[in-house]
Amino acid sequence: MSFPHAPPDVDSDEDDDDVPTVSRWLPVAAFVLSLVGLGISLYLTIDHFRGTPPTCPASGYVDCTKVTTSKFSYLFHIPVSLLGLLFYTGMVAINWPPLWRSRVRAVGWARLAMVVGGVGFVLYLLAAELFSIKAICLWCTGVHIDTFILFVLVVTSFPTMSGGGARWQEWEDGPEDDAGTATDLTGVPFTAGDADPEPR
Protein backbone atom coordinates (compact mmCIF):
# COMPACT_ATOMS: atom_id res chain seq x y z
CA MET A 1 0.00 0.00 0.00
CA SER A 2 1.21 3.46 -0.82
CA PHE A 3 0.30 6.89 0.42
CA PRO A 4 -0.48 10.02 -1.60
CA HIS A 5 2.45 11.92 -2.97
CA ALA A 6 3.83 14.54 -0.59
CA PRO A 7 4.11 17.98 -2.19
CA PRO A 8 7.71 18.82 -2.98
CA ASP A 9 9.22 21.33 -0.61
CA VAL A 10 11.16 23.26 -3.23
CA ASP A 11 12.07 26.17 -0.99
CA SER A 12 13.37 23.89 1.74
CA ASP A 13 15.46 21.86 -0.71
CA GLU A 14 16.96 25.00 -2.22
CA ASP A 15 17.69 26.40 1.22
CA ASP A 16 19.43 23.19 2.28
CA ASP A 17 21.58 23.29 -0.84
CA ASP A 18 22.65 26.84 -0.07
CA VAL A 19 23.50 26.24 3.59
CA PRO A 20 27.14 25.28 4.27
CA THR A 21 28.09 23.04 7.17
CA VAL A 22 30.44 23.65 10.09
CA SER A 23 31.14 21.37 13.01
CA ARG A 24 28.79 21.96 15.90
CA TRP A 25 31.66 22.48 18.37
CA LEU A 26 33.02 25.51 16.49
CA PRO A 27 30.24 28.04 17.28
CA VAL A 28 30.14 26.81 20.87
CA ALA A 29 33.93 27.11 21.22
CA ALA A 30 33.90 30.61 19.74
CA PHE A 31 31.13 31.65 22.13
CA VAL A 32 32.91 30.21 25.19
CA LEU A 33 36.20 31.89 24.20
CA SER A 34 34.34 35.19 23.82
CA LEU A 35 32.90 34.80 27.32
CA VAL A 36 36.37 34.10 28.71
CA GLY A 37 37.77 37.21 27.03
CA LEU A 38 34.83 39.24 28.31
CA GLY A 39 35.43 38.05 31.87
CA ILE A 40 39.14 38.91 31.85
CA SER A 41 38.51 42.29 30.22
CA LEU A 42 35.82 43.08 32.78
CA TYR A 43 38.18 42.21 35.64
CA LEU A 44 40.97 44.42 34.25
CA THR A 45 38.54 47.28 33.61
CA ILE A 46 37.19 47.15 37.16
CA ASP A 47 40.73 47.15 38.57
CA HIS A 48 41.65 50.08 36.36
CA PHE A 49 38.83 52.32 37.53
CA ARG A 50 39.31 51.29 41.15
CA GLY A 51 42.98 52.13 40.89
CA THR A 52 44.03 48.72 42.20
CA PRO A 53 46.67 46.60 40.48
CA PRO A 54 45.54 43.23 39.13
CA THR A 55 46.41 40.14 41.14
CA CYS A 56 49.57 38.98 39.43
CA PRO A 57 53.10 37.98 40.45
CA ALA A 58 55.74 40.67 39.95
CA SER A 59 58.97 38.85 39.35
CA GLY A 60 61.47 39.30 36.58
CA TYR A 61 59.83 39.88 33.22
CA VAL A 62 56.31 39.38 34.60
CA ASP A 63 54.90 42.60 36.04
CA CYS A 64 51.21 43.29 35.52
CA THR A 65 51.29 46.59 37.40
CA LYS A 66 54.08 47.94 35.21
CA VAL A 67 52.11 47.02 32.08
CA THR A 68 48.69 48.24 33.21
CA THR A 69 50.05 51.60 34.43
CA SER A 70 52.27 52.33 31.43
CA LYS A 71 51.47 54.91 28.76
CA PHE A 72 50.44 52.01 26.51
CA SER A 73 47.53 51.20 28.81
CA TYR A 74 45.68 54.05 27.09
CA LEU A 75 44.81 54.59 23.44
CA PHE A 76 43.49 58.03 22.54
CA HIS A 77 42.92 58.65 26.27
CA ILE A 78 40.72 55.54 26.48
CA PRO A 79 41.82 52.69 28.81
CA VAL A 80 42.90 49.65 26.79
CA SER A 81 41.04 47.42 29.25
CA LEU A 82 37.80 49.25 28.42
CA LEU A 83 38.46 48.84 24.70
CA GLY A 84 38.95 45.12 25.32
CA LEU A 85 35.69 44.98 27.25
CA LEU A 86 33.82 46.64 24.38
CA PHE A 87 35.49 44.34 21.85
CA TYR A 88 34.56 41.18 23.71
CA THR A 89 31.03 42.39 24.34
CA GLY A 90 30.66 42.57 20.57
CA MET A 91 32.33 39.17 20.13
CA VAL A 92 29.95 37.53 22.61
CA ALA A 93 27.02 38.96 20.66
CA ILE A 94 28.21 38.01 17.19
CA ASN A 95 29.42 34.55 18.31
CA TRP A 96 26.06 33.66 19.83
CA PRO A 97 25.75 30.12 18.34
CA PRO A 98 22.41 30.65 16.49
CA LEU A 99 24.00 33.59 14.62
CA TRP A 100 26.40 31.13 12.99
CA ARG A 101 23.32 29.89 11.09
CA SER A 102 22.46 33.35 9.81
CA ARG A 103 22.07 33.62 6.04
CA VAL A 104 23.02 37.30 6.17
CA ARG A 105 26.52 37.43 4.72
CA ALA A 106 27.20 40.70 6.55
CA VAL A 107 27.23 38.75 9.83
CA GLY A 108 30.14 36.58 8.67
CA TRP A 109 32.00 39.59 7.30
CA ALA A 110 31.44 41.55 10.52
CA ARG A 111 32.74 38.62 12.58
CA LEU A 112 35.83 38.42 10.39
CA ALA A 113 36.46 42.18 10.48
CA MET A 114 36.14 42.26 14.27
CA VAL A 115 38.52 39.38 14.90
CA VAL A 116 41.09 40.68 12.40
CA GLY A 117 40.98 44.08 14.09
CA GLY A 118 41.24 42.40 17.48
CA VAL A 119 44.31 40.34 16.60
CA GLY A 120 45.93 43.39 15.02
CA PHE A 121 45.46 45.30 18.27
CA VAL A 122 46.87 42.33 20.19
CA LEU A 123 50.03 42.41 18.06
CA TYR A 124 50.42 46.13 18.80
CA LEU A 125 50.08 45.56 22.55
CA LEU A 126 52.39 42.55 22.49
CA ALA A 127 55.07 44.57 20.69
CA ALA A 128 54.66 47.33 23.28
CA GLU A 129 55.12 44.85 26.14
CA LEU A 130 58.17 43.16 24.64
CA PHE A 131 60.07 46.12 23.21
CA SER A 132 58.92 49.26 25.06
CA ILE A 133 57.58 48.29 28.49
CA LYS A 134 59.88 45.25 28.69
CA ALA A 135 57.41 43.40 30.88
CA ILE A 136 54.37 41.21 30.33
CA CYS A 137 51.05 40.97 32.11
CA LEU A 138 49.69 37.45 32.61
CA TRP A 139 46.07 38.65 32.42
CA CYS A 140 46.82 40.49 29.20
CA THR A 141 48.57 37.42 27.83
CA GLY A 142 45.45 35.40 28.56
CA VAL A 143 43.40 37.84 26.49
CA HIS A 144 46.00 37.74 23.71
CA ILE A 145 45.91 33.94 23.51
CA ASP A 146 42.13 33.96 23.65
CA THR A 147 41.93 36.46 20.79
CA PHE A 148 44.43 34.53 18.66
CA ILE A 149 42.47 31.27 19.02
CA LEU A 150 39.27 33.11 18.08
CA PHE A 151 41.09 34.53 15.06
CA VAL A 152 42.08 31.04 13.90
CA LEU A 153 38.54 29.68 14.35
CA VAL A 154 36.86 32.53 12.50
CA VAL A 155 39.38 32.80 9.65
CA THR A 156 39.48 29.07 8.95
CA SER A 157 35.67 28.84 8.92
CA PHE A 158 35.12 32.01 6.88
CA PRO A 159 35.29 30.39 3.41
CA THR A 160 32.34 28.24 4.44
CA MET A 161 30.49 30.96 6.33
CA SER A 162 30.78 33.61 3.64
CA GLY A 163 28.30 31.72 1.46
CA GLY A 164 25.53 31.77 4.05
CA GLY A 165 24.62 30.34 7.43
CA ALA A 166 25.94 27.10 8.88
CA ARG A 167 23.91 23.92 9.22
CA TRP A 168 24.98 21.67 12.03
CA GLN A 169 25.06 18.00 11.18
CA GLU A 170 22.94 17.06 14.18
CA TRP A 171 20.13 19.31 12.98
CA GLU A 172 19.58 17.50 9.71
CA ASP A 173 16.25 15.75 9.38
CA GLY A 174 17.77 12.41 8.50
CA PRO A 175 21.00 10.74 7.35
CA GLU A 176 21.99 10.67 3.73
CA ASP A 177 23.55 7.84 1.86
CA ASP A 178 26.68 8.19 -0.27
CA ALA A 179 24.61 9.25 -3.27
CA GLY A 180 23.05 12.09 -1.30
CA THR A 181 19.61 10.42 -1.06
CA ALA A 182 17.74 11.11 2.15
CA THR A 183 16.46 8.15 4.12
CA ASP A 184 13.72 7.75 6.66
CA LEU A 185 14.24 6.33 10.12
CA THR A 186 14.04 2.76 8.80
CA GLY A 187 16.76 3.42 6.24
CA VAL A 188 14.43 3.34 3.23
CA PRO A 189 15.56 5.90 0.64
CA PHE A 190 13.14 8.51 -0.62
CA THR A 191 13.15 11.92 -2.24
CA ALA A 192 10.74 14.84 -2.01
CA GLY A 193 7.76 14.28 -4.32
CA ASP A 194 8.09 10.49 -4.25
CA ALA A 195 5.57 8.30 -2.53
CA ASP A 196 6.30 7.62 1.09
CA PRO A 197 8.10 4.32 1.58
CA GLU A 198 6.06 1.19 2.11
CA PRO A 199 5.55 0.44 5.79
CA ARG A 200 7.35 -2.65 7.04
Reported pTM = 0.71
For the cut 60, the answer to whether the pLDDT of residue 120 exceeds it is yes
Are 56 and 143 in a shared domain? yes
Q: What is the dihedral of CA 24, 97, 120, 76, to 10 degrees?
A: -170
The whole-angstrom separation of Cα 20 and Cα 43 is 37
- Do both 189 and 103 map to the same domain? no
Instruction: List, for residues 167-178, the tens digit of each pLDDT value.
Output: 544 444 445 544
Check which CATH number belongs to the domain holding 113 and give it. 1.20.1440.130
69 lies in the same domain as 127: yes
Give phi and psi for 76, each to the nearest 5.
Answer: 55, 45
Count of domains forming the chain: 2
Q: Give pLDDT, residue 167.
A: 54
Residue 184 structural domain: 171-200
Contact (CB, 8 A) for 190 and 198 = no
pLDDT at 19 (0 to 100): 53
**Is residue 5 in a domain?**
no
Task: Determine, yes or no, domain membership for 7.
Answer: no
Per residue, what are the HEC states of 122-187? HHHHHHHHHHHHCCECHHHHHHHHHHHHHHHHHHHHHHHHCCCCCCCHHHCCCCECCCCCEECCCC
For residue 78, what are the β-bridge partners?
Answer: 75
CA–CA separation, 62 vs 71, rounded Å? 17
